Amino acid sequence: MDLSFARLDRDVAVTAMPIELAVLLVGVAARQAASPTARAQAQLMVTTPMEVLLAPVHGAFHRITALALTRYRLIAPALTPRQQN
């Protein structure tokens, strides 16, 4: 199976997209971008800056899991091998 790019072939004729199809695709993309779902998603992305997501105040990406692991580490030495299973 040949998976090479067509642009690398020297003997391939270049074809253009029909203007009507290009206009149709632009219209569809514009309507999708203006949909209520797209606007709501855009607002969600604006409310939380990237720095806050990558460096939370508590220092863990998933605080609940970090707390559970910390609690387990504190009680794990007290458990006997039979209790750990």
- Dump pLDDT digits (tens) for 35-60: 998 888 888 776 667 676 677 777 77
Dist. CA 56–CA 31, nearest whole Å = 36
Say which residues have a Cβ less than 8 Å from residue 76's Cβ, sequence separation at least 6.
84
| 13 vs 21, residue with greater confidence | 21
pLDDT tens-digit profile of 16-28?
Answer: 888 999 999 999 9
Question: Which structure tokens are listed for 75?
Answer: 């009680």
| The pLDDT of residue 29 is above 90 | yes
Whole-model pTM: value is 0.35
| Dihedral of alpha carbons 53, 55, 61, 67, sign | negative
How far apart, in Å, are the Cα atoms of 71 and each of 68, 77, 78, 79? 5, 11, 12, 13
The per-residue pLDDT of the chain, averaged, comes to 77
